[in-house]
Amino acid sequence: MSEQAQYHILIEGGFSQDWASWFDGLDVIPQEENRTLLSGCLADQTALHGVLLKLRDLGIPIIEIKRVEKGSNSFKSEG
């Protein structure tokens, strides 16, 4: 079953938007406390697993993964 969905993946480390193409076009949004939010639509579960494998291969700790409704503000920095 293929279904496009929006995901928010919160990771450890500071990354710039320059990494977006490496993370399959996900938006790369710096957060507080040296964290980064990867946000955007992925084609299906296979695409999600591809991003997760890249994070694993780089040794980047994943804090949280969430499938979200479009327009959700989940994981926004709270100041």
Q: Which one is predicted more confidently, 74 or 42? A: 42
Calpha distance 3→5 (Å, rounded): 6
Q: Which sequence spans correspond to the domains of the chain?
A: 21-64
pLDDT at 67 exceeding the cut of 90 = yes
pLDDT digits (tens, 9 = 90+) for 32-61: 999 999 999 999 999 999 999 999 999 999
Please check whether residue 6 is in contact with residue 41, taking contact to mean a CB–CB distance below 8 angstroms: yes
Residue 55's pLDDT is 96
Please check whether residue 18 is in contact with residue 33, taking contact to mean a CB–CB distance below 8 angstroms: no
Exposure of 42 by Cβ count < 10 A (0-12 exposed, 13-18 middle, 19+ buried)?
buried
Residue 51's pLDDT is 96
Residue 77's pLDDT is 45
